[in-house]
Amino acid sequence: MLDKVQELQQYVNSFSATSLEELEDFRISFLGKKGKVTLLFNEFRNVPNDQKKEFGGQLNKLKKSAQNRIIELKQGISSSQNHSNLDIDLTAPAQPYELGSRHPISIVKNEIIEIFSSIGFSISEGPEIEDDWHNFSALNFPENHPARDMQDTFFISKEIALRTHTSSVQVREMENNQPPIRTISPGRVFRNEAISARAHCFFHQVEGLFIDKDVSFGDLKQTLNYFTKKMFGDSAKIRLRPSYFPFTEPSAELDVSCTICNQKGCNVCKYSGWLEIMGCGMVDPNVLDNCNIDSTKYTGFAFGMGIERIAQLKYQVNDLRLYSENDLRFLDQFKNANY
């Protein structure tokens, strides 16, 4: 009997397999219900008493050796099959990961927010679907003002429309807070305009508001001059031209020197060397009174700019439609932007 156990032990030690099927056959032949090891255990009762201890020890050793051999060979076969199933060349250089980038509108918006936050402006937001009061009436728009016409505004109903500016957020701020108020309102706005290189039916704005005692037009000019130089560099120049807005008086348009042609004249600036980037002015007393702020005690200024126009100047993009077409060739150019 002991000779039979030693013979099987030598076979286990030398056994090898190249497939899981071959290994399974070995397991059944040795450890199955009718396997060689199982049959030897059945013969244990026929072993003389003086040999049972040694025989039992050798038999348990054989069984454990067969089990370990099966585990060892199974791991080797599985590892070999995994490597053979790889369809890649492990010696080839690794493919670079494709990194995304922020949209240029988001980049410029974040930069504008950072500039105004550094001088004490908070951030305020509001709904894109607005009622007549917040979008028009509170801002001193007469009932027959052209901006109320369907040519400019996307009306949902007689009293509800897609907001045409983020000035509606400023109204909400004035209604819910007392001066001093110093805030900017970034957001998307909608106007019923023909889509072209210079205009779109939706775009993004940042509007600012500062209300306190003794606020002057000089404060407005210095604030916008600071912003312009931070955004476009110390060489950037500004000019203010008289204009008209229902919610400010006096009102002005702010132009910045064209960074695309360096004031030499191009089709973007219409060969004038200047580009309009925002409207601004002193808050009309009627607007303050509409929002329950004492216009005899407080004054303030407001301004509003299109983010697309700022991005156009900053990155020298001459077609506003590129911002909404999701062309990866265009968007990939902004991967190294800081914001």
Residue 339 has pLDDT above 80, yes or no: no
The whole-angstrom separation of Cα 48 and Cα 1 is 10
Q: Which of 16-25, 61-70, 221-230 has the highest mean pLDDT?
A: 221-230
Residue 45 has pLDDT above 80, yes or no: no
What does the pLDDT look like over 268-308, one tens digit per residue?
Answer: 677 888 888 899 999 999 999 999 999 999 999 999 999 99
Tell me the average pLDDT of the chain: 85
Q: Which of 15-19, 89-93, 111-115 is predicted with the least confidence, judged by mean pLDDT?
A: 89-93
Of 46 and 223, the one with more pLDDT? 223
pLDDT of residue 50: 74
- 252's tokens: 């002005």
Is pTM beyond 0.85 here? no
Residue 197 has pLDDT above 70, yes or no: yes
pLDDT of residue 82: 59
Torsion of CA 210, 126, 254, 257, to 10 degrees: 120
Task: Read off the amino acid at residue 284.
Answer: D
Out of 3.30.930.10, 3.40.640.10, 3.30.70.1450, 3.90.180.10, select the CATH number for domain 104-334.
3.30.930.10
pLDDT of residue 194: 82
Q: Which of 223, 217, 251, 260 is nearest to 238 (CA)?
A: 223
For range 23-36, the mean pLDDT: 78
| CA separation, residue 38 to residues 5, 12, 20, 63, 270 (Å) | 12, 15, 22, 9, 97
pLDDT band at residue 186 under the 50/70/90 scheme = very high
Of 162 and 89, the one with more pLDDT? 162
Residue 85 has pLDDT above 70, yes or no: no
Specify whether the CB–CB gap between 151 and 197 falls below 8 A.
no
Residue 105 has pLDDT above 60, yes or no: yes
- Per-position b or e across 294-321, b if 16+ CB within 10 A of its CB: ebeebbbbbbbbbbbbbbbbbbebeebe
- 77's tokens: 């076969």
Q: Could you tell me the residue ranges of all domains in the chain?
A: 2-84, 104-334
What does the pLDDT look like over 205-234, one tens digit per residue?
Answer: 999 999 999 999 999 999 999 999 999 888
